[in-house]
Structure 1
Amino acid sequence: MARKTAKPKVTPCEPCKGTGEVSRTVHVGRKRRDVGQQTGICLNCLGSGEIPADD
């Protein structure tokens, strides 16, 4: 009989709150005006949404 292994507990990433994406303000011009927001992958978890392992 095969033994089932327990799934590891997943903790969501703090900066992206588990979504894998973060928003950044876009600046243009010499005075660095704010023109909107742009989303990109979270550099802390690299888009996975989970806290990286402490290997």
Structure 2
Amino acid sequence: MARKKTPESKSAECSVCKGTGEVSRTVEVGRKRRAVGQQTGFCLNCLGSGEAPAE
């Protein structure tokens, strides 16, 4: 008896980080919140996995 192959489920990319798992944020300093550069952090939407969260 032949086994049926189940299709591999490909999850969609996260729309916020485009599948990278990282996002850039502007770093601000001082009371006037002057922008001094950018910092990379992990995506809070997919928690760094790069895959779209399950709904």
TM class by smaller structure: 0.7 to 0.9
| One-letter amino acid matched to 2:29 | V
Question: Root-mean-square deviation (CA), in Å?
Answer: 1.2
Equivalent in the alignment of 1:47: 48
TM-score by length of 1: 0.87
Equivalent in the alignment of 2:31: 30
Q: Deviations over 1:23-52 (max 9, x none)?
A: 000000111100000000100000000001
The alignment partner of 2:32 has SS state of coil
**Which stretches in structure 2 are left out of the alignment for 5+ residues?**
none
**Which stretches in structure 1 are left out of the alignment for 5+ residues?**
none
TM-score by length of 2: 0.87
Deviation at 1:53, TM superposition (A): 1.1
Q: How many residues are paired up?
A: 54
Is the radius of gyration larger for structure 1 or structure 2? 2
